[in-house]
Chains A and B, each alone.
Chain A
Amino acid sequence: MKVSAVRQALLLIALAFVPAIGEAIYFRNKVSWQSPVPASELVTVDQARSWGDNVIWVDARPDNEFEGDHIPGAILLNEDRWTDLLPQLLGQWSPEKKVVVYCSAQSCNASREVAKRLRDEAQLRNVFVLDGGWEEWLRNKR
């Protein structure tokens, strides 16, 4: 019996749920199901400022944006020049420091990526992402 394209499609759509649900169960504790960055890893501008000199600001934007303007004292560390730029951050880091990574805005992904690499590859703890990024810093500039 010939099965129409739509029925075939519906069957494929239903079949795909099986491995997808299995994988979701496997990853259930490794994924933030409600927000892209777990709340525990996000900080506001005010929170980060309250940490005073214990903060290392990390700018994850492209070189030209960093050179245009950046948070005072921030270190440039983007994925394009990761290997070249990481040593400068590591030279300033110590276990009691908190690292706050930002990129241009809430919508950009670079800060999340850099923060993830700092935790996974550089094995740093206390790495956070600035909520709202550079745009939020500018809005809160005093």
Chain B
Amino acid sequence: MDLPSRDILWRIVALIIGGIFIYAGVIKAMDPVAFANDIDNYKILPWPLVVRLAFYLPWLELLCGLALILRFFYRGGLFILTGLTFVFIAASVIAKVRGLDITCGCFGHASKNWNFSGHLALDLAILAALSALWISNRTSATRKL
């Protein structure tokens, strides 16, 4: 694959991943109380912190998704989304090991009927895509030097 085609491919991947996080952010921002209940189900954080995160995280996701699509603060957006995805996968696995029967909360109540395997597969795919975008961004920066 030549260089312009590769750049177009990564741009498409960034559009898709950015779009997923914008969608997830909007869904959760529309019902922060429901999202707070979903976070609370993981039984990791106290409620006062949970409810404040429920108001904050959707907007962070949305902004970072926009960063990927519009390519402003692109690396910062990638950095945050990769970190959030890591944390979310870890929390999901911990909850599963503890035997907690929870809904994901990742797409608000739109994803409440997904099973654990489905969630994990999607999250790992997103993490793989984010990692690939990181690598492609670093490769592109090196090429420009």
Contacts and interface: CB of A to CB of B under 8 A. Distances in A.
Interface of A: 3-13, 15-17, 19-21, 23-24, 27, 30-36, 107-109, 112-113
B76 A109 contact: no
Interface stretch (B5-13, B86-94, B98-106, B116-124): B98-106
B33 A31 contact: yes
A23 B53 CA distance: 12
A12 B66 CA distance: 11
Given A8-B76, A36-B47, A13 B33 contact: no
A60 B48 CA distance: 25
Contacts of A23: 29, 32, 55, 59
B40 A20 contact: no
Contacts of B33: 27, 30-31
A10 to B, nearest CB: 8
A36 to B, nearest CB: 5
Given A8-B74, A16-B56, A34-B47, 4 more contacts: A5-B75, A11-B73, A13-B60, A31-B33
Nearest to B74: A8
Range, interface on chain B = 35 or more
A20 B56 contact: yes
B114 interface: no
Contact of A108 (B63, B74, B101): B101
14 contacts: A5-B79, A8-B73, A8-B79, A9-B79, A16-B62, A19-B29, A23-B59, A27-B55, A30-B33, A31-B33, A33-B51, A35-B47, A109-B103, A112-B37
Nearest to A35: B47
Contacts of A7: 76
A68 B39 CA distance: 29
